[in-house]
Structure 1
Amino acid sequence: MENTILSRAPSRDFTASPPSSRRGFLGLSLGGVATLALAGCASYQGYSFTEAIRRLLTIASQDAFEQLLAPGGFYDDQLARLSVDEVLGNRGGVLARILGSTIVRERMMREFNRIAAEGAYRAAPVVADTIRIVGFENAVALVSGEPTAATGYLRTNMGSRLIDVMLPEVSDALRVIDDPVLGPALSELSGVNLSGVADSLTRRTEDAIWSAIGREEAAIRADPYATNDPVLIGVFGARNAVR
């Protein structure tokens, strides 16, 4: 089958901002996948299923990271919100009693979400690289699978790579927070295994990332025409029509 250059909707130009910005960075790292010449094996009416899955994951990942890394992204997204209790477990209650302030808890929650965004920023190019190199031998099964089948397949193939990439960033961020209000809280944390807090926050961030990608994948499958991508429309539009 002749190789086809991946084309995306004009409204999805993530390279317009400078490469030094986060949006520009995501456009270059995830957009690198979008410029590959992809050859497929299984196909439908000339459309490669392998290419369709790669395009599906590229666009879903790009949209998910853009939303999560936007100002307030993790904090405002109900599927990604990271709360103090979820990250600290029982320690959250201890800190609440020590500090005795809802305002401080809210600031702590926002700080955790900021740290989560830093970890996600580091994770974005790793996801992009994996989409590029993972072989989709079971492309037919993924095309006809559940709404988040491709996301689940990608997560399984990545294993602990996101955790490995994000954990150093999260650990460093927890240690360098310089806040006159949160400082005392973090001092308390340092006495109760700060590395464990970093690990919990990292895993919560990982779950949030995969939830966001899966949600975007499901949305694309439901309405491939919104992408303006001919391959996604050809594969998933046809599949939706015969349901």
Structure 2
Amino acid sequence: MSQVVGPINRRALLGGMTSIGVLALAGCSSFPAFSLEEAVRRLLFLSSDRAFARLLQPGGFWDDQVTRLVLPESLGNRGGVLTRILTGPLMKDRLSRAFNDMAYEAADRAAPAVTDAVRTIGVRNALALIRSSDPMAATAYLHQEMGTSLVELMVPEFGDAIRVSREPLVGELLAALTGVDVGGIAQSLAMQADNAIFRAIGREEAAIRADPRSTNDPVLMAAFGVK
């Protein structure tokens, strides 16, 4: 299993960040001057830290409608095999739950990559990201900058998890699907997981914007006008 950059490590990174191009926002004179780029990075560090803390819990994907993965559509286009195996919604949910449990390993692999990206990407027009009316603007920017890099990281994790799954339904499905494209299933799940991860980060970003004082971070409080 890959090593997760946990909350303590991310907070250490966040706390050790240095200001580049230091600016002071009007109306924030009660706080030290700070870099707008630093504020965006802190926002993303904390948002991703909180998101992965939720996702890397038992049932982290399955228990949340925002992040739950669904069965890949390709499984339903294999001559009715899926229909024959899944005799009712309970069995379908069981298989779907198995795929969502696999997402833990994929998210475990993705977490350090998100942390590294936040630390290293250039933040263009940081003021616009801070002042955006979109409560998930910084997350959307991060997702755009990272492109499909998380998908590429997670495809092997899903592929390996599918092949060694202890869920009997997964084995039955693979045995029944002649010439099954495990890579294609893994790709579909990885793309879903990628979107789920950024939805989770975006939700945390929106919560921080709505209540920056709860972060107890003077840079974030200053950035969002809390005196």
Q: Which TM class, normalised by the smaller chain length?
A: 0.7 to 0.9
The corresponding residue for 2:49 is: 62
Q: Matched residue of 1:237: which SS?
A: coil
Decide which of 217, 221, 225 is 1:229's aligned counterpart: 217
- Check whether the contact 2:136–2:202 (CA below 8 A) recurs between aligned residues: yes
Residues 65-106 of structure 1: CA deviation (Å, up to 9, x unaligned): 111111111001001111225574545963132342433322
Counterpart Cα distance in 2 of 1:211 and 1:93? 32
Distance in 1 (CA, whole Å) between partners of 2:106 and 2:204 is 20
Q: In structure 1, what is the Cα distance between the partners aligned to 2:169 and 2:17?
A: 52
Please report how far the alpha carbon of residue 159 of structure 1 lies from its aligned counterpart in structure 2 after TM superposition: 1.4
Pair 1:141-2:128 in alignment: yes
Residues 7 and 53, structure 2, Cα contact 8 Å, conserved in 1: no
1:107-126 equivalent positions in 2, closer than 5 A: 107-126=94-113
**CA pair 73-190 structure 1, distance change in 2 beyond 3 A:** farther
* 1:206 corresponding residue in structure 2: 194
Q: Secondary structure at the match of 2:141?
A: helix
Let me know the Cα RMSD of the aligned residues. Answer: 2.5
Q: What is the rounded CA distance, in whole Å, between the counterparts of 1:92 and 1:36 in structure 2?
A: 56
Do the aligned partners of 1:84 and 1:92 also contact (CA within 8 Å) in 2?
Answer: no
| Structure 1 residues 129 and 25: CA distance shift in structure 2, 3 A | closer
Asked whether the 8 Å contact 1:69–1:120 carries over to 2, the reply is yes
Q: 1:101 and 1:89, CA in 2 relative to 1: closer, same or farther beyond 3 A? A: closer
Classify 1:119/1:196 alpha carbon distance in 2 versus 1 (closer, same or farther; 3 Å).
same
Deviation at 1:25, TM superposition (A): 4.1
Q: Is the 8 A contact 1:33 1:128 kept in 2?
A: no
Tell me which residue corresponds to 2:165: 177
Between 1 and 2, higher relative CO (CA 8 Å, sep ≥ 6) is seen in 2
2:85 — aligned with what?
98
2:20 partner SS: coil
Please identify which structure carries the higher helix content.
Answer: 1
Q: Distance in 2 between matches of 1:193 and 1:135?
A: 38
What's the % identity of the aligned pairs? 47
Displacement of 1:155 after TM fit? Answer: 0.9
| Deviation string, structure 1 residues 164-200 (Cα, Å, up to 9, x no partner) | 2111111111111133343211223462322111100
Q: CA contact under 8 A between 2:45 and 2:115: conserved in structure 1? A: yes
Q: Secondary structure at the match of 1:38?
A: coil
- Hey, what does 2:58 align to over in structure 1? 71
TM-fit CA distance, 1:237: 3.2
- For residue 74 of structure 1, give the secondary structure of its aligned residue in structure 2: coil
Report what 1:216 is aligned to.
204
Check conservation: 1:33, 1:131, Cα contact below 8 A.
no
Runs of 5+ in structure 1 lacking a partner?
A: 1-19
Alpha-carbon separation, structure 2, partners of 1:190 and 1:64? 38
